[in-house]
Every structure is written in C-alpha cells, then in structure tokens.
Amino acid sequence: MNGGQGKRLAVFVASTFIDEVRAELTLAFDATFAERGGDPVAELITRSGRGEHFDAVIFSLDVPMGSEVIRALPRGLRALATYSVGTDHVDLGAAADRGLAVFNTPGVLADSVAENAIFLMLGAARRATESIALLRSRSWSGWNPTQLVGVQLSGRSLGILGMGDIGERIARRASALGMEILYCNRRPLPEGHPLAEGYRATAGELVAESDILMLACPSTEETRRIVDDALLSRAKAGMILVNIARGDVVDDDALVDALREGRVWAAGLDVFAGEPKVDARYFDFPNVFMVPHIGSSTIEARLGMGRILIEGLSGWEAGGEVRNRVA
C-alpha cells in the first residue's frame, strides 16, 4: 500500500452508526463523520475540494456506490468499506476501474440474521401480527379453543433456498425445533455433511416439498425475482414463505396473488424490494408478519461489523492478506 508509514488511515464515515461503533472507528482511524441529514457523497467531494484527504470511505446500504458515484469520488481515495455483507449496492466493476479496494463484513452478523429468521418463521406460523393487533385493540375477550389457531413447526419441513453460512445456521436452529431440513444451493453440501441428504437440485423441487420456504440466497442475476408465479404454482399447499435475503428475490405481484388465493398460508418478511418503500398490499394481509430489515440489528452484530472493517482496512494498509476484501 502507498499510505505513509506510521500514519493512521484517514476515513470518511458516510453512514450513521451507533455510538459504540463510532467510538471504535475514532480510536482506529483519523475518522471524519458525515453531517447527519445531508448528502454524504456531496460532503465528501466538498471536503476533498477544500484540501482534506481521505484514504477510505466507510458506508452502508443507505449510501449506494453506483458507477456514477464512484467515478465522482476524490482521486486520492483508495478503498471502499461497506458496513454490510451484501455488495449489490456497490458497482464492483467501477471500483476496479478506479483501482479501489472493496471490503465488506462477512460472518459477524450471521447468528443475528439466523435468529431473526427463526423469529419471522415463528411469527408467521403463530399469527403474531393478528395476536398483537388483538391485544393492542383492547378488545380481547379471553381465551377460547378457536382463537388464532396457527401451525406447529416441529415435524414440518423447512426448505432453505441458499445454503451458505447463514443458511446453515438457520438449519441448525430449525433442527433443534424438530424440523426436517431441505435445501437448494448452487452446489450440494459435501457427502457426509449432516444436512447433505436434504439437497434438492432445483427451487421447484424444494418448494414442492417444503412446509416453510426460507429465502437465504444472495441477490444475483440468477436469483432476482426467483420467487415468481411459476415457482409458487409448485408450492406445497399451505406453505409459509420467509424472506431474510433481499427484497428483489421475490416478485411482489406473485406473492400477493398467492397470499390472496391461499396458496401461501402466511409470510414473514424482513426485506422488501425498493426499501424503504414497502408494497402497500402487504399491509392488507393479517397473515403477513413484517419487520423493517432488522436481521443484523443486535449490538453484537453491529460491533462485529465495525470491527471486521477496522481489521480489514488496517491489515490491508499494513500490506497483509485480509479475509473481508471482496475486490
């Protein structure tokens, strides 16, 4: 690397993070934090134009790094560090053209996301949206045998679309609930793996056998809108769908139709196409349990994400190999 020996990296922090993360970034780097409520990219360009130097930008999903933005970044910038696992908001080709190193936060949020997946699955299966609404309406008349009857998870099949690190952690937790684990992935798990026998070669085969379909795949050209009319037409009767992946892996029209027709019994959604906008039709379904993209929203995950970026940028500056460099 061409940074000065003994000098701390100068980083511009474009997104707003919790105080504990801000404190650790301040200890590790010569950190400048974007003003809240403004345009952080415009601020970075303005500061650079006044002679301030930055080696790296730390940002998250709220600051997309598309090709035009990357081309406009200051010339002296050498690295982009996204406070996320996914990099679909970063144009990696444009970053490579500029010679920018790119870092992300793999692994450290997997347990938090997996726990959220179980939470969503339980919320959808046990009719949490309706239960909360009933209590908050102050009109609950007391227990009766027909009240809000949901479904038990033990003994049911969980089909995981995308058996990466997070998928495996979901599977371990679901197995402890007594669920059968099926999965579809680009490659099957190694022979002898405890989950290997649950492999299904196509998403169609998976949904045909799954009581709950868990979306845990990355957003790619291959997976965007993979949950469409054709796939849902093959779904097992009464299937529950849970999405902790990316909103754009679901065709909203197809899911809404399936919910309306009862082909999908319920849904648990943490992510949405076009966030923060949410397709308004979902609000009309009491059997849709929704949370606002909180999969990694634990103090443990937030600190871990900051620390792996600190580790990656510091190791890269020192000339070492780092585990979280993606470009």
Active-site residues, by number, are 246, 275, 293
**Cα–Cα distance, 318 to 322 (Å, whole number):** 10
CA 22 to chain centre: 22
- In angstroms, the Cα distances linking 181 to 90, 161, 199, 210 are 33, 11, 9, 9
- Where are the extended beta strands (E) located within the chain? 10-13, 30-33, 56-59, 79-82, 101-103, 157-161, 180-184, 212-215, 239-243, 264-269, 288-290
> Across-strand partners of 255?
none
Helix (H, G, I), strand (E, B), or coil: what is residue 269? strand
Residues 196 and 190 sit within 8 Å (Cβ to Cβ): yes
**Cα–Cα distance, 52 to 31 (Å, whole number):** 12
Cβ-based neighbours of 190, under 8 Å, separated by 6 or more:
196
Query: Residue 208: enclosing H or E segment and its boundaries?
Result: helix 203-209
Q: Quick one: which of 150, 195, 204 has its CA closest to 172?
A: 195
CA 180 to chain centre: 24
**Cα–Cα distance, 137 to 236 (Å, whole number):** 34
